[in-house]
Amino acid sequence: MASGATTKDGVNIAYDDYGVGEPAFVCLPGWCSDRSQFSPIVDQLSDRARTIVLDWRGHGESDTPDVDFGYDEMTHDVLAVIDAMGIERIVPVAASHAGWAALELCRRLGDRVMGLVFMDWMVMGAPPAFITGLRRMQQPDGWAEVRDQLFQMWRGGGSNPGVEAQIAQMNSYGADTWMRAGREIEAAYQRHGAPVEVLASFDPPVPTMHVYAQPADPEVLQAQETFASEHRWFEVHRVDAQSHFPQFEVSDEIAGLIEDFASKL
């Protein structure tokens, strides 16, 4: 099932290919994670359409280049996989801050991106405290502390085995990867502002769905619902789960929401 695609700069990108039919779901893991992040939902998604799940460079089974990289190179990783598979129409399914790469795919591929799915992302913008944490994450004496704080927050007080396995997998990455993640995520928010502002700039708009569990604050959901009422191409669903990784807690619900969204495209 595992295959590889080579980018223009010679980096081999590992991916899994399931199912048939387009638009294909292209699943993009978050930073410091690999394609196992989508394992709870990939079978159900691939029953509907072709489903591609990749590892970013420097992650999982993909090559780790000797040179630095960021979102621009990660976007090239996705494009290399899409080109290798001959896929014309896609629906990116982006976990957390992989959303920035998904937005860049919209700019580069235009109407070949039929819709966007974001999972547990700060679509309304990053709070100042989060930006402060990202800056601390970029420091050699701070990244591990911030990582551990994130792990505690992401558990949400629960002890789901899938969530614990996901956190253990993320814990296998070292300083270089976590510090790079902090740099790239902060730079994206500083450059682009809130993800919904980027989405609102697309003409024509791209149908978009955000599915999340954290935070449980009703004001966060209300802000997104207000945005959705003013922008009919956007929808939001908060699921009843505790962690930052609801696909491990309510996998059928997450996959069902994505399938329903795709059926309307």
Question: Does residue 135 sit within a domain?
Answer: no
Burial string for 74-108 (b: 16+ CB within 10 Å, else e) reads: bbbbbbbbbebbebebbbbbbbbbbbbbbbbbbee
Question: Does residue 137 sit within a domain?
Answer: no
Domain count, the chain: 1
* pLDDT, tens digit, 9 for 90 and up, residues 142-172: 999 999 999 999 999 888 999 999 999 999 9
Give dist(CA 104, CA 71) in Å, integer: 9
Give dist(CA 39, CA 162) in Å, integer: 10
Q: Could you tell me which residues are beta bridge partners of residue 238?
A: 212
For position 2, what pLDDT does the model report? 59
Whether the model clears a pTM of 0.75, i.e. scores above it, the answer is yes
Is the pLDDT at 29 greater than 60? The verdict is yes
Question: Does residue 139 sit within a domain?
Answer: no
Question: Does residue 176 sit within a domain?
Answer: no
What's the CATH code of the domain at 224? 3.40.50.1820
For residue 244, indicate whether it is catalytic.
yes
User: How many other β-carbons are positioned within 10 Å of the β-carbon of residue 253?
Assistant: 17
Q: Is 77 helix (H, G, I), strand (E, B) or coil?
A: helix
Question: Does residue 41 sit within a domain?
Answer: yes
Question: Does residue 154 sit within a domain?
Answer: no
| Spatial contact of 19 and 87, defined as CB atoms under 8 Å apart | no
* pLDDT, tens digit, 9 for 90 and up, residues 183-214: 999 999 999 999 999 999 999 999 999 999 99
For position 144, what pLDDT does the model report? 98
| 165 class by beta-carbon count within 10 Å (0-12 exposed, 13-18 middle, 19+ buried) | middle
Question: Does residue 95 sit within a domain?
Answer: yes
Determine the structural domain holding residue 10 and report its residue range: 2-125+193-263
Tell me what the pLDDT averaged over the chain comes to: 96
Is the pLDDT at 27 greater than 80? The verdict is yes
Question: Does residue 96 sit within a domain?
Answer: yes
